[in-house]
Structure 1
């Protein structure tokens, strides 16, 4: 608390804009929790504290506002179709998808949003989750695999579902990048440059974990259930990208 109510001449260095906003937001969450259970005599004080934090967030946004330049030559037809599909299933959004110069594809507000406004609401019915897999032939096979996690089951389902032309989520899969530029997709040269860093260790551990999972399941599943697990869809490196779109 002292950090945010220090005197004006106090010199405080913040690690990043994101950390600053997350810290302020954590105070808002704690204040809301206190308001839901506080005595009436404390209500005005907590409401005043909440408004002060909201003002700090607004001021911080004004001071750190970056004007992005939109790349108008990029087509967002598939993305707009995805938003239209989401709205038809109950999603609500005050955002639109755009390509920003120097940043790539992202989302921008359609209008000015105040602190506390809800930018995006997604109903549970269109969230890719484990429940989707429960009634599939794939699940009836995978549930018999000893020690397999729900995350791995969902990963395998999405790898196949992406190629299902009749999938409920086809418009979502169509908007995914052809390749995710993450540590999992780094080439040998790029990974070698990270040798000795914590990131190098994390990438190698993640790769080893995925390869170990793959070796436990394939080619056994392809050999035993070729209709459910067509061999051409299942390569170890193909597991890297679904880890990104499901995260």
Structure 2
């Protein structure tokens, strides 16, 4: 009996070691791909033709696809049904001073969630009051555990929208976060060009939106690569909490 128990324990230890080696190997592969993305997205394309910019985009996209495929099995992703979290979200709003009457969060066909009036409102009526306490802002990020990194990173100091994005990911990694009821009702993806396939993007040609879409994708890919390297190489303790949750899918 003791031999069987010991055998199971040894087998479990081997599995853990093999799993750890697998993750380390995947991290090495990721690091190489991320470095390629950073270099490729750093190429300035101001004088490039539309065709050259498109070819450049396809090269970036190919690397990003490889990154996404590697990151998928490394991340434990819970599928959250947003509608099941609405009640908790509304309670959280009420507990923190939000005031609203005669409206409710409702799912609309083809438009996801929005506010639905449940009574008649006269013109000029106050429909809802939302205190700053439940508005996630750059100040929340600067006052959080991320502040040691925010204070030394030049990109975060000049781009508050990126600061807010990192703060959101940081709070998402914390099951006890004050912001959890809010985070749990956020969409998993958005109908923006960042989620378009190459075929869908190609449909935008020859409109001005096509070039700006390529630029946006390139910018987000570069930001992802930049922060991935920082998160995995800097010796700032708080960044360790972002290492598992910071993926391209989560960042975009």
Q: Output the TM-score relative to the length of structure 1.
A: 0.61
> Which of residues 227, 238, 244 in structure 1 aligns to 2:250?
238
- Cα offsets for 1:5-37 (capped at 9, x unmatched): xxxxxxxxxxxxxxxxxxxxxxxxxxxxxxxxx
Which blocks of at least 5 consecutive residues in structure 1 are unaligned? 1-73, 241-247
> Which residue number in structure 1 is paired with residue 227 of structure 2?
217
> Which of residues 88, 92, 98 in structure 2 aligns to 1:85?
92
Which blocks of at least 5 consecutive residues in structure 2 are unaligned? 1-80
Question: Using the alignment, how far apart are the partners of 2:230 and 2:204 within structure 1?
Answer: 35
Which range moves more in the overlay, 182-191 or 200-209?
A: 200-209
> Which residue number in structure 2 is paired with residue 159 of structure 1?
169
> Which residue number in structure 2 is paired with residue 113 of structure 1?
121
1:232 match: secondary structure = coil
Question: Using the alignment, how far apart are the partners of 1:161 and 1:84 within structure 2?
Answer: 19
User: How do 1:23-172 residues align onto structure 2 when only pairs under 5 Å count?
Assistant: 76-94=83-101, 95-148=103-156, 149-172=159-182
Greater fraction of residues in helix = 2
Change (3 A) 1:186 1:223: same
Q: Is the 8 A contact 2:149 2:236 kept in 1?
A: no
CA-based RMSD: 2.2
Q: Is the 8 A contact 1:80 1:97 kept in 2?
A: no
Q: How far apart are 1:164 and its partner, in Å?
A: 1.1
Q: How far apart are 1:178 and its partner, in Å?
A: 2.1
Aligned length: 167
Q: How far apart are 1:104 and its partner, in Å?
A: 2.7
- Over 4 Å off, 4+ runs: none
1:212 match: secondary structure = helix
1:203 match: secondary structure = helix
- Cα offsets for 1:68-113 (capped at 9, x unmatched): xxxxxx9844112211210111101232011223433221012111
Change (3 A) 1:83 1:209: same
Question: Using the alignment, how far apart are the partners of 1:160 and 1:86 within structure 2?
Answer: 21
Q: Is the 8 A contact 2:141 2:167 kept in 1?
A: yes
Tell me which structure has the larger Cα radius of gyration: 1
Match status 1:205 vs 2:208: no
Question: Using the alignment, how far apart are the partners of 2:152 and 2:129 within structure 1?
Answer: 36
Q: How far apart are 1:231 and its partner, in Å?
A: 2.6
Q: Is the 8 A contact 2:82 2:186 kept in 1?
A: no
Q: Output the TM-score relative to the length of structure 2.
A: 0.60
Question: Using the alignment, how far apart are the partners of 2:82 and 2:185 within structure 1?
Answer: 11
Change (3 A) 1:77 1:235: closer
> Which residue number in structure 2 is paired with residue 13 of structure 1?
none
Q: Is the 8 A contact 1:81 1:171 kept in 2?
A: yes
